[in-house]
Chains A and B, each alone.
Chain A
């Protein structure tokens, strides 16, 4: 039973419900895997070893509950999500000692579904970054090659899942932070439609962009997790009241006959690494073999998406992060002796460079005299970007393209050039501006790099089911990429 951690979430769930495996055994297997892999990849910020084992034992004593779709399944959660009585740092020193007295909605739903949360995953500070090198605590390494980054900002969740430390993890995606690390680590990552999952209890970065979503090793596992966390929450006014469809029911199809796959010209040209292009083109051929019909489409404003994104995200970040003032929670500098001094010193010592950079740029673009030139302008182009998507998706069922222009890069390679790092999100970012759903799934290993490569499937608002349907059919005919070579 020592290799239980290698199973998929769906398989372990079946075995748990059949009592072939106890919750304690499932948790113990993951904890042993964490002990073996964590010194190399450092995917976690904290581990609830004793608490998870105690929870599992209590669950075993009560017996399996078929009404709980994740009964006994060990999972990890990105440290941006509040967990009751467990440290929630958001990868920042300013929240280094913060223990929320409540659970985020998505965390509560996981617990109600019977999942056992065994640890919180590392992340770029306040989800600002594309490599998980911006964590205030330590960088995370890619399980496939320890000299490379796992992507970001949900790099801890991606590495945790890829290294089989847990059967699934929750990440968050503001500009690609689920899909890009999923691509770089060989996982399946879903960014749901904005409003599909409540953001209550998530430490906000860019409020009009942030979405919580599952990261897993298979498409089916992903659908199971989204089924649990999706749905209306009155505590988040941006959360939709729409009914949640049965995502698992969408997974049955073997043929994609009649499915139109949109190929945005802007996603398949200049700037794409040849090995990424080859893997994605091969996956596209498999989609065609399954009966899907390719359709040429265009997203003409996508070249402007990065500029729009960073203006919007930084503006929202400067506002959201104003709450960190050293008064009600978080770090307070001991040398400060008057109120303004508390704010300034606590923030200056508590926030890292990337966070300070984004807060200041956000302050600048919102300041008097620049608001119209930057923020309003960006919001206007944002509408154009969404209109592009609406037009493209009126011609097809899903859009398809690479998730990242390159495979995982070396640790430290881009840290001195923030703009170059920002450009790594070029294929993911526009979707967040439009508020639409997208999934990245592994489609092979790079011919030159040997690293995982991901294909992205993007869909209409609240149509995650079609994305899962196409992704699952593709996954079934795509050879497995195997297990991480770096471990």
Chain B
């Protein structure tokens, strides 16, 4: 499969990343070899196989739905790049 720098730029946009021209070309070549390697899976007929998305072999453990305070506001905000002391602050959107 051929992966162009333009295609890499489209994927980067979806992933909320931006890359310079050199990086787009470098990644295009690397993506091509990695994805070609992954194509080896097409050697296998898996039409009747149920996908395995998680190795968990037990049913989900549920707890009672009881509200509890797990963290203080100051602690939650303590790592934010910008706050007003009550909320996370981002640039004006509208």
| Interface residue ranges, A against B (CB under 8 Å) | 97-102, 194-195, 208, 232, 234, 237-241, 301, 303-304, 306-308, 310-311, 318, 322, 325-332, 336-340, 342-345, 347-348, 351, 353, 356-357, 359-361, 363-365, 367, 374, 376-384, 386, 418-419, 422, 433-436, 461
Contacts and interface: CB of A to CB of B under 8 A. Distances in A.
Given A99-B78, A327-B80, A380-B46, A356 B37 contact: no
A367 B31 CA distance: 15
B21 interface: no
Contacts of B58: 195, 240-241
27 contacts: A98-B79, A101-B76, A101-B78, A195-B55, A208-B55, A237-B60, A307-B41, A327-B88, A328-B79, A329-B79, A331-B81, A338-B91, A347-B16, A359-B15, A360-B15, A360-B17, A361-B34, A364-B31, A376-B51, A380-B52, A382-B52, A383-B52, A384-B46, A386-B55, A419-B34, A434-B55, A435-B55
B16 to A, nearest CB: 5
Contacts of A240: 58
* CB-based closest 10 A-B pairs: A435-B55, A379-B51, A332-B81, A329-B79, A383-B52, A380-B46, A101-B75, A380-B49, A363-B15, A307-B38
A363 B14 CA distance: 7
Interface string B37-50: 11011101010011
A343 B61 contact: no
Given A194-B55, A195-B56, A329-B79, A367 B41 contact: no
Contact of A381 (B34, B46, B91): B46
Residue of B8, B42, B90 contacting most chain A CB atoms (<10 Å): B90
Given A327-B80, A327-B81, A378-B41, A241 B61 contact: yes
Contacts of A363: 11, 14-15
Interface of B: 8, 11-12, 14-19, 23, 27, 30-31, 33-35, 37-38, 40-42, 44, 46, 49-58, 60-61, 63, 71, 75-76, 78-82, 88, 90-91, 93
Given A195-B56, A344-B17, A382-B52, A339 B12 contact: no
A357 B51 contact: no
B31 A361 contact: yes
B61 A359 contact: no
Given A360-B12, A363-B15, A418-B34, A304 B79 contact: no
Contact of B17 (A328, A347, A376, A379): A347
Contacts of B56: 194-195, 208, 238, 435
B49 A318 contact: no
Residue of A237, A301, A364, A436 contacting most chain B CB atoms (<10 Å): A364
Contacts of B60: 237
Contacts of B54: 208, 238, 435
B38 A311 contact: yes
B40 A367 contact: no
A325 B81 contact: no
**Chain A at the B interface: SS class:** helix
Given A307-B40, A336-B91, A381-B46, 10 more contacts: A100-B79, A195-B58, A307-B38, A342-B91, A356-B12, A356-B27, A360-B27, A364-B11, A364-B35, A377-B46
Contacts of B55: 194-195, 208, 386, 433-436
Contact of B80 (A195, A328, A351): A328
A238 B8 CA distance: 34
A298 B93 CA distance: 58
B46 A359 contact: no
A342 B89 CA distance: 12
A329 B71 CA distance: 15
Contacts of A356: 12, 15, 17, 19, 27
Contact of B27 (A345, A357, A419): A357
Contacts of A376: 51
A467 to B, nearest CB: 17
A238 B75 CA distance: 26
Given A307-B37, A328-B88, A360-B15, A237 B61 contact: yes
A383 B79 contact: no
A360 B11 contact: yes
Given A327-B81, A332-B82, A347-B17, A461 B91 contact: no
Nearest to A232: B61
A306 B34 CA distance: 11
Contacts of A379: 51-53
A339 B90 contact: yes
A383 B46 CA distance: 10
A402 B17 CA distance: 38
Residue of B19, B42, B46, B71 contacting most chain A CB atoms (<10 Å): B46
A342 B51 contact: no
Contacts of B35: 361, 364
